[in-house]
Amino acid sequence: MKAPLRLPELWSDPPRWMAEAWDAEAPWGLLGAPLDELLAALPSEAIESALQPDVHLLGDRIVIGKGARIAPGVVLEGPLWIGRDVEIRTGAYVRGGCWIGDGSTVGANTEVKRSILLPTARAPHLNYVGDSILGADVNLGAGTVLSNFRHDGREIVVASESGPIPTGRRKLGALLGDGVKTGCNSVLHPGVVVGRETEIYPLAQLRSGIYPARSIVKLRQELDVVEKRPAS
Catalytically annotated residues: 125
Report cis status (omega within 30 of 0) of the bond before 8: no
Q: How many helices (H) and strands (E) does the chain have?
A: 2, 27
C-alpha 55/C-alpha 226 separation (Å) is 50
C-alpha 68/C-alpha 74 separation (Å) is 13
| CB-based contacts of 3, cutoff 8 Å, min separation 6 | 161, 162
C-alpha 66/C-alpha 51 separation (Å) is 11
Judge whether 32 and 131 are in contact, CB under 8 Å: no
C-alpha 98/C-alpha 123 separation (Å) is 14
C-alpha 34/C-alpha 78 separation (Å) is 16
| Upper half-sphere CA count for residue 91 (Cβ side, 13 Å) | 9
